[in-house]
């Protein structure tokens, strides 16, 4: 895969605070990369560095193999969409779209052609003569995307573009952004704190914490094989169940034991040998806990239902089991009364095991 | 009160509560309560107290001297005359000149207009640069500028006289305009910087990505959004410079005296009879300009001061 954006040893500090430190990231041509993290993790800062709105204190940024570390934003071949839309309030939609082209002294005919094309792709043709204040949130964000579109850029940068919209519009526009990416095939870098947006849109997700990329992988890997406990706990709602315990060896096989309850680790593909006595954390996603008739294998544990949360398509159970609480997702038509006893087993093939000290995946 | 009692068709719905239609329920009644009487009474007295001197001035300016000598300052003029106004404007004497306030008026115009325009122009660019283009040493520059606002004017008068003399513009209108522009700088820069800082930063970023430069962003993005703050700055400068007396008397020659200095010379002239009616008319004429500015742009003034306080 050819590289579109390449970041080498990037550092940025505000005074004594290091926001980014020696960050490396390669983004492929036409890739949709999502930077995911909670607020203050440096994801927007990284995006602003790529855009050229913040000057890094160290490192280099390459776009299309050209070193753009000190280039002006307009010379980088990027377009950016902001959370607050950032439309110029005194200009009509048409003027908003064409402003950048006018500044670049493009011929009138070419400007009209590009505005027409963008408004057709985004279906904002009827809105061209309106002011931003006369548009709804979804329409405004569409115009903001159009402003990046007309500039015919190599890389699209999105800074939490859907965070100001209500839930319904957000999912609609999410699909539109995905469709846009499929038809334009541009490189897109998308910053969000919403894991659903990340999982649905991304080719690859970079999960960030305190200015460091914790894991960079496709959504499936991120979800099923998180590299450490932070990633495991950040992705998924409700969060992964974490059971603290240790390894014992029984009959030559490693077994996980927590609060006196034993779980066979058959089916778990550990990356390193599991020696006895090692303190570990077992992570199991709510949908990977099998309940009652689904509970299979030699190892079936008993638990009782504490709380039931029906969510329509799914039903979320909070089970009490050997001193810890487990979140379990079952199909929406399976109902359980609080207090009922249930049997459960874990799908070890999809579970994760972490070292208790380093919090890294084993 | 009859309205609240009469049964309108909608009133019957009280029985069938919950049906859509007119709002129903007890309406709060306006009453002539003791609280309201106190409130409005106090306001009225305060207003009268402050309006009384203005009334006396207007009335006196329209009386002849014999009528004034009767001593009833509150009585309306028996014989209304505008002669004092004409005299104050055109023929009142200050020293050797006997062409009234008119010369001072035009001097004031020639001082106020360029000083206001130049100071606002420079300060708005200052504020824009400080708010959006974080250049090296910006904070230091801003701090120095603000400290400048707290140094008493009197301390600087003599040094400025020397500077202007060395530049060869002491006593000219140009010199005074430069002085007014410089002294307006701290407060105006602060005003503009705060206003531009209150505008969404993402707009500025978007314009930079669109390729606009320093001046393009200033003229095409920032200026069109900043009308209220420009009005505020204009009011501050026009009234401030128009009302200035000290700089006018120190930095100009008699033929360039602004209206305020001219007014003082008319009112405080020692020879001859004190012409109270002419003095009153002259004072009203001098005060008219700031007064008109306030009345015309008061609404915009409030909007500009409050702008940025509420996100909108």
- Go through the domains of chain B in sequence order and give each one's CATH number: 102-269+281-306 (1.10.3720.10)
A190 φ, ψ (degrees, to nearest 5):
-130, 120
Q: What is the pLDDT of residues B5-25, one digit of tens each?
A: 444 454 444 445 555 677 778
Q: Is the separation of the CB atoms in B99 and B90 below 8 Å?
A: yes
Ordered alpha helix ranges (H), chain A: 43-51, 93-103, 108-121, 137-150, 167-184, 195-201, 219-224, 229-234
Rounded to whole angstroms, the Cα distance separating B257 from B252 reads: 6
In a domain, A7, yes or no: yes
For residue A249, what is the domain's CATH number? 2.40.50.140
Q: Does A83 touch chain B (CB under 8 A)?
A: yes
Q: Is the separation of the CB atoms in A71 and A147 below 8 Å?
A: no
Closest CA to A352 of A221, A249, A237: A221
Residue range(s) defining the domain that contains residue A254: 241-355
Report the residue of A63, A74, A131 to disrupt the B interface, i.e. the one with the largest count of B CBs within 10 Å.
A74
Query: What pTM, to 2 d.p., does this model score?
Result: 0.81
Q: Is the separation of the CB atoms in A352 and A222 below 8 Å?
A: no
Total of domains in chain A: 2
In a domain, A361, yes or no: no
In a domain, A114, yes or no: yes
A211 and A253 belong to one structural domain: no
Residue with tokens 């990329």: A213
Q: What is the pLDDT of residues B237-276, one digit of tens each?
A: 999 999 999 999 999 988 899 999 999 988 887 677 788 8
**Token pair for A173:** 């526009």
For residue A16, what is the domain's CATH number? 3.40.50.300
A167 and A295 belong to one structural domain: no
Residue with tokens 């002491």: B170
Residue with tokens 């992964």: A240
Average per-residue pLDDT for chain A: 90
Strands ordered across the beta sheet of A187-192:
A78-81, A155-159, A187-192, A32-36, A204-209, A212-217
pLDDT-based confidence at A254, cuts 50/70/90?
A: confident
Rounded to whole angstroms, the Cα distance separating A260 from B132 reads: 62
Residues B208, A53: C-beta atoms closer than 8 Å: yes
Inform me whether the pLDDT recorded for A170 exceeds 80: yes
Residues A82, B211: C-beta atoms closer than 8 Å: no
Q: Does A55 touch chain B (CB under 8 A)?
A: no
Q: What is the pLDDT of residues A190-200, one digit of tens each?
A: 999 999 999 99
Looking at chain A, the whole-number percentage of residues with pLDDT higher than 70 is 99
Last residue of a domain, one of A185, A219, A234: A234
Looking at chain B, the whole-number percentage of residues with pLDDT higher than 70 is 88
Cβ neighbours of A299 (radius 10 Å):
16
A172 and A35 belong to one structural domain: yes
Residues B209, A53: C-beta atoms closer than 8 Å: yes
Report the residue of B135, B198, B202, B210 to disrupt the A interface, i.e. the one with the largest count of A CBs within 10 Å.
B210
Q: Is B39 exposed, middle or buried (0-12, 13-18, 19+ CB in 10 A)?
A: exposed
In a domain, A328, yes or no: yes
Closest CA to B218 of B237, B191, B199, B190: B199
A182 and A289 belong to one structural domain: no
Quote the Cα angle for A203-A208-A212, to 5°: 120
pLDDT-based confidence at B310, cuts 50/70/90?
A: very low
Last residue of a domain, one of A176, A200, A234: A234
A289 and A345 belong to one structural domain: yes
Q: Is B43 exposed, middle or buried (0-12, 13-18, 19+ CB in 10 A)?
A: exposed
**Which phi-psi region, left, alpha or beta, contains residue B219 (left: φ > 0; alpha: ψ -120 to 50)?**
alpha
Rounded to whole angstroms, the Cα distance separating B207 from B216 reads: 9
Inform me whether the pLDDT recorded for A41 exceeds 80: yes
pLDDT at residue A362, rounded to an integer? 87
Last residue of a domain, one of A210, A234, A258: A234
State the number of CA atoms in the 13 A half-sphere of A79 facing the CB.
22
Give residues with Cβ within 8 angstroms of B230, minimum separation 6: B120, B124, B304
DSSP, res B220: I
Report the residue of B134, B139, B204, B209 to disrupt the A interface, i.e. the one with the largest count of A CBs within 10 Å.
B209
Rounded to whole angstroms, the Cα distance separating A296 from A303 reads: 15
Rounded to whole angstroms, the Cα distance separating B278 from B101 reads: 11
Pick from A52, A82, A103: CB nearest B210: A103
pLDDT-based confidence at B80, cuts 50/70/90?
A: confident
Residues A103, B205: C-beta atoms closer than 8 Å: no
Q: What is the pLDDT of residues A269-290, one digit of tens each?
A: 888 888 888 899 999 999 999 8
Pick from A86, A100, A151: CB nearest B200: A86
Residue A145: strand, helix, or coil: helix
């Amino acid at each position: 895969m050819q590289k579109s954006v390449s970041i080498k040893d990037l550092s940025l500090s505000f005074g004594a605070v290091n926001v980014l430190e020696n960050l490396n990231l390669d983004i492929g041509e036409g890739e949709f990369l999502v930077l995911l993290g909670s607020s203050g993790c440096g994801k927007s800062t990284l995006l602003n560095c790529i855009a050229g709105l913040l000057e890094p204190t160290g490192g280099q940024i390459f776009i299309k193999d050209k070193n753009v570390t000190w280039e002006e934003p307009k010379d980088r071949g990027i377009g950016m969409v902001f959370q607050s839309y950032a439309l110029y309030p005194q200009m009509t939609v048409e003027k908003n779209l064409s402003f950048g082209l006018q500044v670049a002294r493009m011929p009138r005919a070419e400007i009209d052609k590009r505005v027409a094309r963008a408004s057709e792709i985004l279906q904002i043709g009827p809105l061209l003569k309106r002011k931003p204040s006369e548009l709804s949130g979804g329409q405004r964000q569409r115009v903001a995307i159009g402003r990046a579109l007309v500039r015919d850029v190599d890389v699209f940068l999105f800074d939490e573009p859907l965070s100001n919209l209500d839930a319904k519009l957000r999912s609609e526009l999410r699909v539109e952004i995905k469709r846009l990416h499929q038809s334009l095939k541009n490189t897109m870098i998308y910053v969000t704190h919403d894991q659903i947006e990340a999982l649905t849109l991304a080719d690859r997700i970079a999960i960030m914490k305190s200015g460091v990329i914790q894991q960079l992988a496709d959504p499936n890997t991120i979800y099923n094989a998180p590299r450490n406990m932070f990633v495991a706990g950040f992705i998924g709602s409700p969060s992964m169940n974490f059971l603290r315990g240790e390894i014992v060896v029984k009959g030559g096989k490693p077994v996980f034991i927590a609060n006196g309850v034993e779980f066979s680790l058959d089916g778990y593909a550990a990356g390193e040998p599991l020696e006895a006595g090692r303190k570990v954390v077992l992570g199991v996603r709510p949908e990977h806990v099998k309940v009652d008739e689904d509970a299979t294998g030699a190892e079936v544990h008993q638990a009782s239902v504490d709380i039931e949360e029906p969510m329509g398509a799914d039903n979320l159970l909070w089970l009490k089991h050997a001193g810890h609480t487990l979140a379990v997702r079952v199909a929406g038509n399976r109902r359980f009364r609080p207090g009922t006893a249930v049997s459960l087993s874990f799908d070890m093939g999809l579970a994760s095991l972490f070292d208790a000290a380093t919090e890294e995946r084993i | 009160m009859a309205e609240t009692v009469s049964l309108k068709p909608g009133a019957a719905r009280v029985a069938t509560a919950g049906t859509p239609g007119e709002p129903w329920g007890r309406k709060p009644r306006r009453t002539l309560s003791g609280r309201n009487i106190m409130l409005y009474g106090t306001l009225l007295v305060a207003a009268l107290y402050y309006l009384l001197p203005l009334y006396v001035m207007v009335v006196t300016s329209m009386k002849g001297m014999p009528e004034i000598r009767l001593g009833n300052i509150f009585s309306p003029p028996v014989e209304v005359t505008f002669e004092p106004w004409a005299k104050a404007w055109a023929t009142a004497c200050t020293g050797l000149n006997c062409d009234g306030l008119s010369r001072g008026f035009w001097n004031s115009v020639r001082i106020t207009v360029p000083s206001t325009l130049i100071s606002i122009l420079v300060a708005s660019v200052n504020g824009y640069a400080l708010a959006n283009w974080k250049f090296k040493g910006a904070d230091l520059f801003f701090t120095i500028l603000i400290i400048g606002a707290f140094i008493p004017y009197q301390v600087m008068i003599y040094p400025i006289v020397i500077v202007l003399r060395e530049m060869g513009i002491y006593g000219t209108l140009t010199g005074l305009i430069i002085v007014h522009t410089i002294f307006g700088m701290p407060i105006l820069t602060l005003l503009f910087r705060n206003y531009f800082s209150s505008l969404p930063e993402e707009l500025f970023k978007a314009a930079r990505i669109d390729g606009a430069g320093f001046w393009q962003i200033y003229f095409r993005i920032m200026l069109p959004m900043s009308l209220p703050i420009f009005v505020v700055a204009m009011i501050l400068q026009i009234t401030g410079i128009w009302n200035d007396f000290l700089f006018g008397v120190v930095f100009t020659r008699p033929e360039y005296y602004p209206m305020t200095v001219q007014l003082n010379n008319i009112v405080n002239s020692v020879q001859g009879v004190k012409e109270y009616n002419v003095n009153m008319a002259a004072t009203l004429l001098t005060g008219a300009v700031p007064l008109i500015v306030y009345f015309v742009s008061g609404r915009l003034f409030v909007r500009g001061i409050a702008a940025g306080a509420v996100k909108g």
